Amino acid sequence: MKQLDLNSFKDFSQAEVGRRILVDDPVMRVVLVSIRAGQALPEHAANGLVTVFAVSGRVVFFEGADCCDMLPGKLVRLAPGRPHRLEAKEDSQLLVTMVKQSDAAAWNSLAPAGRDLDLRQTARDRRHPTVFYAFDGLTVGESFFIVNDHNPLPLRAQLEQLRPGEAAWETVIDGPDQFRIKVSRIAARVTPAEETVLAGRGA
């Protein structure tokens, strides 16, 4: 269980809107937005389902031609691809959650021990991050299985480079049409992951 105290994050800046990534996994991304009175976020859209929850302050939220006042406790929901923007009337904080377009491998990576991460239906640019997220969720002695349509040797090399001495790699099925690899954690992670991270302008 991961716990965070939103009251401990005050990322206000006169120079730019503050964005702190609280959760970023293969299924969901949660960002705490800290915005000064008078600042604005220009119109943009996301390719996943979005909710925006007002934590403090007051902002005017626009979805296309519609708008509403967002005061503490108010939540809005946006369908994927819907353009939206906002203007802060007071110093405000918003909790923005995006549910990503996900497949079975992404969902299994959230609790990976003993499960299959079938990457054949996963977009290629999301395969490695999904496996790394799953691996970082293992405790020593736990494992999961990668199922793929080719031998993921570049992934193995990356895992050995970025998690040296932490993983065991065992090929269970060696092609030609399906590859099944057992990935086990054999040592604890040397450097713990950051709990949260400040996002750049484009987040």
- 16 and 72 inside one domain: yes
Greater confidence (156 vs 4) lies with 156
What average pLDDT score do residues 135-156 get? 95
Contacts of 29 (CB under 8 A, 6+ apart): 21, 23, 48, 97, 98, 100
The most confident of the ranges 27-36, 99-108, 186-195 is 27-36
- 20 and 86 inside one domain: yes
Q: Is residue 193 part of a domain?
A: no
Beta carbons of 160 and 167 less than 8 angstroms apart: yes
- 71 and 19 inside one domain: yes
Tell me the angle at which helices 153-162 and 124-136 cross, rounded to the nearest 10 degrees: 40
Greater confidence (175 vs 36) lies with 36
- Residue 108's CATH number: 3.30.110.40
Specify the pLDDT at position 101: 82
| Spatial distance between the Cα atoms of 147 and 86, rounded to a whole number of angstroms | 43
- Residue 14's CATH number: 2.60.120.10
Res. 59 pLDDT band, cuts 50 70 90? very high
Specify the pLDDT at position 112: 94
Contacts of 171 (CB under 8 A, 6+ apart): 179, 180, 181
- 72 and 85 inside one domain: yes
Residue 108 has pLDDT above 80, yes or no: yes
Which residue among 81, 100, 119 closes a domain?
100
Mean pLDDT over the full length of the chain: 91
Res. 138 pLDDT band, cuts 50 70 90? very high
- 73 and 146 inside one domain: no
Specify the pLDDT at position 203: 37
Quote the number of domains for the chain.
2
Residue 4 has pLDDT above 60, yes or no: yes
- What's the burial of 151, exposed, middle or buried (CB within 10 Å: 0-12/13-18/19+)? middle
| Diameter over CA atoms, the chain | 60
Where in the sequence is the domain holding 116, given as residue range(s)?
104-185
Sheet containing 40-44: order of strands? 40-44, 84-88, 59-63, 66-70
pLDDT one-digit tens code per residue, 8-21: 898 999 999 999 99
Residue 97 has pLDDT above 80, yes or no: yes
